[in-house]
Each structure stands twice: as structure tokens, then as C-alpha cells.
Chain A
Amino acid sequence: MNFEQVIGLEVHCELKTHSKMFSAAPVTFGEDVNTMVNEVDLGMTGTMPVLNKRGVEFAIRVCHALHMEIDELLCFDRKNYYYSDLPKGFQITQDKRPIGRNGYLDIEVDGEVTRVEIERLHMEEDTAKQFHFDDYSLIDYNRAGIPLIEIVTRPNIGNGAQAAAYLEKLRQVFLYTDVSDAKMEEGSMRCDVNISIRPFGSEEFGIRTEIKNLNSISNVQKAIEFEAMRQEKVLIQGGEVKQETRRFDEDSKETVVMRAKGDAVDYKYYTEPNILPIRLDHQWVMQIKDELPMMADERAKLYIEKHGLPQTDANILVASKDISDFYEETIQTCQEYKLVCNWLLGEVQAYLNKENLTIQQTKLTPAYLGKMISFIQDGTISSKQAKKVFECLMSEGKDPEVIIEEKGMKQISDPTTLTNIINEVLDANEQSIQDYAAGKDRAVGFLVGQIMKKTGGQANPKVTNQILIQLLKARVQ
């Protein structure tokens, strides 16, 4: 029997606002445990939530980027449950009225474009981080209260590859809207999978399982592929898939049971009484849309159509927002689109890979990269010299003009100076002039080599060639 997979994804993303979703405590990472907290984050009785406007703005940005309808009446609910990582004993979230509804994201797998329908996007707050040991547990509240958005797709993803493509694309949206660093490995982007299978052509959904504990996009794909196979085996053997929560075991690359459905809690959602419904200013919501940075697809289109870049180059540029942003800033000072692209994808990328750095971690600035490329273009330096300038640019971050000056790299392009030098070389190489007259083109190469030797490689090759030929012709006549 042939089965098809029915997959829905729930993605949580931490927002990089300055302060927490409902408190004034700072949002920072890598600080000492339990230092980035105040009485609100600790759920001290009597404290009250204050909504972070920037958090709402970030959620709206993502809503716009995902083509969603925005509910301009903001409502919050309490999700009630007891857990030691949940300081208040409830989480403030949006149950009944999520801020975003009915969006989509188009993805491409093996050249085929599919539309992933997104059901909802809502805002909520993160829990504390727990560390369990044999006979005690430790809790770090720094994470408690960090703004989260949750994005839920409809069950219309067909396989693991599509799920992975969707997550890559969604991650790009988080990065391009500049709301999160969206790192699955570090937990700032998290994904839960709902998956069931059914015979092809069947209208009914099969019984689904939920998979948690997925810390990379590739693991999501692996988990889906394993789970689909597992469910298929169960069905083929005449068994029944149980509705349960499973987790992905990294070592065995298998999904294993976490808890059965019977353990499900009743969250007793009800309206948060301390945040009255807020009517958003329509102008503000639209302004956020207008100010939204261009998404990856649009940028790639622009690079191809307006900058004349090949499609492959454009796609690689936008694959990383950092690199794409750097490209856009560089072309502000230097409109040699293809050259800028080549340098970024060539030398710069190689350097980053070798040093294992991001572009922000280097001393390179768009202005200096642009300036260097302009110097190559106008013949101030040769491509060969440029490689040396580039090395200094990366390690020292100096103005390329200064580097060229300091290294005495400036090309000799002045015709008068060059004419004098070439005449001296010709005077000392009578044999070569005769060779040239006899039609031996090799002689030219030899003479250029001599000129370069005399100038320490600084003679502008193009100008040198022109003058040399002129002078040779004059001498053999």
C-alpha cells in the first residue's frame, strides 16, 4: 500500500527585543544565570505584566512577511499549568485571537514550488531553563519572559524535504525581518512536528504523533523520515498508530515515546485580566509594513534584473542576510555589481570559512571593500596587488588607500615616467629589439618582465604594453 504524509509544523522563535515581553528586564544571552531577571520574571505575587511594544512590532513584521491577516485588536490569554519552569503558574499567550492568521510561504524543492499555508502566528513568553540532576534541579530564570512568536502551519506539508525547505525559508524571514538570530542549535528557533500518514487518495487524516526535541533543521527532516517509516510499518503490520508525543533521539536517529496522550493537561485558557484588549493604530501597522526590509526572494530578483547578476550568484548572496546586506552597502560606494559579488562570494567567503568567522566579526567594511574594488577598476592597483591589500583589509581594517600608500603598491601609470623607464630597458636590450624586428613576439614578454623587475612590479601592465609597442615600432623602423 502507498501512503502519503500529512505534516504540520509549530515553530517558536525568540525575539531579540531589548526587554522581555511583559517586564522591563533585559533580554541578553550568555549572561550569568539568574541575573537578567526582576520580580515580574520570577512570578513574585502581586506583579503585573506590561506589554512590550517592540515585541508586538516584531510580530507584525513577521506577519507581514508571511502575508498574514493582522488582528488589530490585541488580546491576550492565560494558559494555566503547573511546571517548575513556569514562574507564574501560567503563560501569557494569545489563544482565541492570534495577531496573525491565514498566511503562506512558497518553498522550492527540486525545482518544484509548493505553497505552505500558515494558520496562525501568536505572541507569548518563554519559560525558564531547567537543569535536572540525579537528586536536584537547577533553574535559570534569565530566559523566563523572553518574547516568543509561535507560527503554526496547516497540515499541508508532504515530506521531510519540504519541511526542511519551509524551515530554511522561515528562518530567512526571521533574519530578514531582523527579529531574531533564529538559531535552532541554541534554541532561539524551535520546531515541533505533527505527523500522520494515510493511504494515497484517502480524505481522512490518520492518527498523528507529535515530535519534540529537534535542534536542527536536518534533524527535523530525519525525524520526519524516520517517523513516517515507523508509522507505515505499524500500519502495514496491521497495528494502530498511537496518539502520543515522541522525541527525536540524536544518537539512534529515531523517535522515541515521551508521553502518551492520556497525560495531556487542560490549560484552562481564559482572557488575561491584567491586559485589557488593545486597539492597534492601523497607520502604525501599515507603517511597519512599509518599513519592512526586502525579503530574500525580492532581493534576488533585484540582483538579477537590475544588477545583472547570474541567478546562481544572486541566490548565494541572499542565502545569508549578512552577506546580502554587506553587498547592498558595498554597492552604495562601488557600482561594479559583478566584481563586488565575486569578491564577496570568492575571497571574502573563503576567508570567513578559513577563519570560521561571520562577516561582522571581521574588520572589513563595505566602504573599504568598495574602495578597493574601485582602485582595481581604475588601474591604481592590479588584481594581484589587490589580494595583498585584501589581506590587510581583513586583518587590520585600514583604509585601502593607506594600505596601498604604506606598501608602496601604487601602479606607475604615468606615460612620461613609463616612457623613460622603458627607454632605459630598451637601451640595455638591443638583442630583444632585433628579435622583435624579426617577428619573435616572445621578445615583448621578456621586455615587460624586465620593466616589471625595474619597477618592482608597479608598472601598470596595460599602459606599459601600449607604450612598449609604440617605442619598439619606432625603433625598428
Chain B
Amino acid sequence: MIQYSIEELHQLFASKAIDPKAYYDELFEEVELQQKRLNAFVTITKEKAYADLKEAHFENLLNGIPYVLKDNYNTKGIKTTASSRMLEDYVPVYNAHVVDLLSKQGVCLVGKASMDELAMGGTNKSALTGPVYNPWDTSRIAGGSSGGSAALVASGVVPFALGSDTGDSIRKPAGFCGIVGFKPTWGRISRYGVIPYASSLDTVGAFTRNVRDMAIVTEAMAGRDNRDMTSSFKEVPHYLENLTDDIKGLKIAVLTSVSDEIRNPEIKANFESIVETLKNLGAIVENVTMPTQLMRTLLPTYTIIANSEATSNHSCLDGIKYGNRQPGKTTDDVMINSRTHGFGDHIKRRFILGNLALATENQERMFRKAQRVRRLIVEELNKIYQDYDIILTPNGGSIAPKVDEAYDDRLSDEYLILENHLSLANFAGTPSLSLPSGFVDGMPIAVNLSGRIFEEQTVLNCAYALENALNFKNQYKREG
């Protein structure tokens, strides 16, 4: 089975060069194979995909295109588990807004992808269905929390998949899997119907294998939704039409507070080569820093804000109205028993932490303090954006870890800044894209490009230019 981009596949379907039915037959054979290899699906929606295909007439770019949803997107009539025992058999009565939007475009749903339980994690090891393996080396993780979506795009099963990004949950796995991952501006895409993690940080976004496809998918999802009051009324630009790889004069800031932390010499060399490439493309690339002290607060600030919001957001999961209900003598017992049974240990730890930070006696010195620090971080970041269009950083400090060596909540100094800086874009709500930049030990590595809020186009253009100058467009890995 040949791997096509959205644009290629559309061309082939529309011109009748290939038979869509035959293509999907082949696709689902591949789904079976890759599921055995990667364990990336929670649910395979074969019937739904064929039903969607029947309706397709290939009149627009996304019509008839196969895709995958992270399992925290509510899908009416289709099991939506968020990889949690609590929602093991949960079948929603409504669709997430973007699911409706994409359905209108005629996309075909291939399946629901595995994720860290309730999107809280960075390894995908906490999924109820077990770890998701990296297509480039199945002894390694795909990353998280959107690990299943990343693995399915990186193994060439589908040209695009949706993820969600609260701290780095799209961009980290995109980097580990050698594909494009994009978190647009907070408020650019409706979050309605996406099982939340932390509302003030959560963002809907996608994985693709090239930047043009990313422009297509982002454009299809962006825009105001009256069911999400935080979604913007701002007009949505034609990202694809406006896409250009001419970045002459673009002002790019290299955030050395992050890149100076790189220990791995090959990653360091790769990053330096990317800086050179961007200069050769005509961009003005300069070094900037942020106060180290502030950079060291990223993880604790994130931990407190994200878990505090999460504990409240997931209070609805009590076994009373839906989800996994455990019996009890009183309604209180039902709730306690259901939540005890329904959540994994790491989730309970995070809920306890969030409750601790929100408790009236602690709120001022924990939750509110974290919010104030967040504001300081954003102010510092905005100072850089006064002079620069793009902030460039390495995506992370290592290749995807081995499955049995990957842990969440690492607090070692080595990783404190280098593995947590992607949360900057969540704190500030800015668009942020991770792009494959090379290989180390046969595993993909990546760089990250972030821009000002609502300047998705600038970020996409810069990524497009860099992608064209590099050799990693449309890459995928099928066999181990």
C-alpha cells in the first residue's frame, strides 16, 4: 500500500486513478498489521469508514480522506474512552465540534487512537490498552499523550490524525515519530466535545506528514463555534492558499535558554544546522534568552495549573450519569467506588495534587501563585515577540525513550528546561509546530517553531520553507 498525502490522495480519488474502495480494503489490511505492531488503536471503526466513503464524492480536498481521532474526541454512537477504565464502555450522545466540521468535509473515520489516560501523561504508557510503540523502533515509546494518533500517521496508516495538546501532547510525540505536529492558537479551534485536561491550556491540533496537509486540516477546523465561548470570532485565513516558502527577512529568535541545555552532541549539531539552514533561506536569526529562574518554573507552574483544572474538569466522571459505575450503599459510595475503580494510580496522584493546590488554605501560595508566575512567563515571552516573528527551539533533548525507561513526572535537572519548554506555547496560547529535522541513532528528532497568537500562517510558512530545504517530508516507517 502506497502512502499518500491528503493532496495526492484527493487527486487520485478525484481523477479516478485509483479505486477508493480498493484503497480502503488495502488500508484496513494495513490497520490490522500495524495494530499488532504498534497497539495504537483503542477502537477500529471499519464500518463507519466504509459508510463515510459511500457518501464521498471527492469534490474537496478532505472528501474521502481517511483519518484517526485521538480517543478524547466525543463521537456520537462510537465508544470514546480517553483510554481510561472510567470510560471503558462510554458511548457519547454527541459529536465534538471539529468532528462535525470534518464530517461535513466528508472525511472517513478509520478509528479512535490510544492516548495517555485522560491525556495526562507524556509516554502513552498509562493507556488502558497499554503502551503505543514507536513505528521507527517498537522497543521505544511513541510519546504522549497523543501517542496513538502520532504512531498511526508516522506508520503511514492515515495521512492525518487529530490530537490534543495541553503541555506538549501533540508536539512531543510528533517529534519522537518524525512527523509534523501543530498546536494552533488557544481559541482558534473549538474545544467543544473534546474531553478536557486543563481548559486554559488545552488546544485542538493535528498530525500530518507534511506542512501543506497541516495547512489544509487546520483551515478545516479553525473558526468560531457558538458552543465554545473561548473560540475566536477572528476570520480564518486560507492557510493553504497563502502558504509560501519565501521567508526572506523573517525574524527568528533562537531561544538559547533552551538550546544551550542540549547535552546530546548529535542533537546539538542538528539544531545548529537548522539555524544555518534558516539563515541560508534569508531569515534573520538571532539569539535570545529568558531568565533561567523563570525557565526553571515551567514544570512546577504547569503541574499546578494543569492538575488543578484537571481535577475540577474530571469531577463529572462520578459514575452517576454515565461511565463505569460501581455499586455502593449511598450515592456518595457509588461516586467513591466508581472513581477508585475507574482511574489509574497516576491519575489519582494528579487529582490529589490538584486538590491540594486548590484547597482554600493552599490556593494563594500554590494555584494563584502558579497563575501569577504564568503571567510573568507570558510577559517575558511577549517581549521576544515584539522583535521576532518566530521562536526556534529544539523539540526536546533526546530521541524517543525505550518503553521500560520512559517515565512521566521526571524532575531531574537535565530535563527540567529542555523537556518542558514546549509548555511555553500553552501558557501563552501561541501557535507552535514541531517539524522533523533529522535522525539520531536511526530515530527521528525535531525542532519547534512558535509564533505570535493567531499568526498560524507565519508559523506554517516558516515550517514550509524549512521542510522544503530539508529531506524529511512525507516520511513514514512501516516495518520495524
Contacts and interface: CB of A to CB of B under 8 A. Distances in A.
A273 B199 contact: yes
A347 interface: no
B358 interface: yes
Nearest to A82: B335
B229 interface: yes
A276 interface: yes
A50 B315 contact: no
A434 interface: no
Contacts of B227: 48, 50
Interface stretch (A85-93, A168-176, A183-191, A217-225): A85-93
A139 to B, nearest CB: 7
A46 B192 contact: yes
Contact-size category for B: 35 or more
B40 to A, nearest CB: 22
Contact of A82 (B93, B315, B363): B315
A280 B358 CA distance: 29
B145 to A, nearest CB: 15
A137 interface: yes
Interface in A250-273: 266-270, 273
Nearest to B334: A84
B192 A44 contact: no
B229 A49 contact: yes
A80 B363 CA distance: 13
Contacts of B51: none
A51 interface: yes
B192 A89 contact: no
Given A46-B195, A48-B227, A270-B363, A84 B312 contact: no
A246 interface: no
Contact of A268 (B87, B313, B335, B355): B355
A270 B358 contact: yes
A42 B94 CA distance: 12
A400 B199 CA distance: 64
B200 A88 contact: no
Contacts of B308: 270
A274 B360 contact: no
B74 interface: yes
A137 B331 contact: yes
A84 B320 contact: yes
A39 interface: yes
Interface string A53-96: 00000000000000000000000001010111001111000000
Nearest to A278: B229
A43 interface: yes
Contacts of B93: 39, 44
Contact of B321 (A87, A266, A274): A87
Contacts of B72: 46
A268 B359 contact: yes
A51 B227 CA distance: 10
A83 B318 CA distance: 9
A78 B358 CA distance: 11
B363 A46 contact: no
A46 B193 contact: yes
Contacts of A275: 229-230
Contacts of A88: 315-316
B228 interface: yes
A47 interface: yes
B324 to A, nearest CB: 13
A50 B228 CA distance: 7
Nearest to A42: B321
A274 B316 contact: no
B367 interface: yes
Contacts of A87: 316, 320-321
Contacts of B199: 273-274
B96 interface: yes
Contact of B195 (A45, A267, A270, A274): A45
Nearest to B231: A48
B280 interface: no
Nearest to B316: A43
B147 interface: no
A43 B228 CA distance: 15
B196 A45 contact: yes
Interface in B419-476: none
Interface string A131-159: 00000010100000000000000000000
Contacts of A43: 316, 321
Contact of A78 (B191, B196, B312): B312
Given A84-B334, A266-B359, A276-B229, A46 B315 contact: no
17 contacts: A39-B93, A44-B94, A44-B321, A45-B82, A45-B87, A45-B313, A47-B94, A49-B229, A50-B227, A51-B229, A82-B335, A84-B334, A88-B316, A89-B312, A90-B315, A266-B361, A270-B358
Which 7 pairs show the lowest CB-CB distances between chains A and B? Answer: A89-B315, A84-B331, A273-B199, A268-B358, A43-B316, A273-B200, A46-B193
Given A46-B194, A47-B193, 15 more contacts: A43-B316, A44-B322, A46-B72, A46-B193, A48-B192, A51-B229, A80-B311, A80-B312, A84-B331, A89-B315, A268-B312, A268-B358, A268-B360, A273-B309, A274-B228
